[in-house]
Homo-oligomer: A and B are copies of this chain.
C-alpha cells in the first residue's frame, strides 16, 4: 500500500462529498488532468482506500422511518461470544452500524426500522434467548440532525 499524497487526499475529500463528479470536474478542483484523476481513482479503488460508492437516501422521503441507538451488554464469556455477536449484527440490514466499544457496554448499535412494531420484532431476532445478551438499552432518536460517514481527513 503506497502512501497518499496531497492530490489523493484532495481527491478523496471531493469524492466523499460527491462521487458522481466527472473526472474533468475533479481535475479542475485538484489541479490535475482528467486522465490522471481517473488513474488515481482506479488505484484508490483497487487498494481499497475507496471501499465503496453508494447512494445516500433521504429517510424522511421513505415513510417516517425511525432510528434507534441500542447499547448492549453481553454475558461474560470469551471471544467466541463476542465474535458470534459481531457476525450476527453484520447479517441484519436494519443494523446500520455496530461498534464494539470499551466501558460499561460491549456494543453500541445504530438501527433503522420502519416503526416501533418493527423495532420490537427486530430486537427479538437480534437478541434471541440463546444468545448471551445480558441487557440492552434503547435510545430513540427524535431527529437525525446529521448523518454521514465521511472522514474528516
- Residue ranges of A at the interface with B (Cβ–Cβ < 8 Å): 1, 4, 12, 15-20, 47-59, 61-62, 65, 67, 69, 86, 89-90, 92-103, 105, 107-108, 110, 112-113, 139-153
The copy count of this chain in the complex is: 2
CA distance A49 to B61 in the complex (A): 6
Interchain CB contact under 8 A, A54 and B101: no
- B149 to A53, Cβ gap below 8 A? no
Could you tell me the distance in whole angstroms from the C-beta of A25 to the nearest C-beta in chain B? Answer: 14
B149 and A99 within 8 A (CB): no
- Interface contact A54-B19, CB-CB below 8 Å: yes
- Complex CA gap A90/B101 in Å reads 24
A1 to B61 alpha-carbon distance, docked (Å) = 8
Alpha-carbon distance A92/B12, docked complex (angstroms): 18
A50 touches B54 (CB 8 A): no
Known: A89-B146, A139-B103, A141-B99. A57 touches B12 (CB 8 A): yes
Assembled-state Cα–Cα distance A96/B56 (Å)? 14
A98 and B48 CA atoms in complex are apart in Å by 27
Are B49 and A143 neighbours in the complex by a CB distance under 8 Å?
no
CB closest chain-B residue, reference A107: B145
B residues within 8 A CB of A65?
151
CB contacts (< 8 Å) of A89 on chain B: these are 145-146
Question: A59 near B103 (CB under 8 angstroms)?
Answer: no
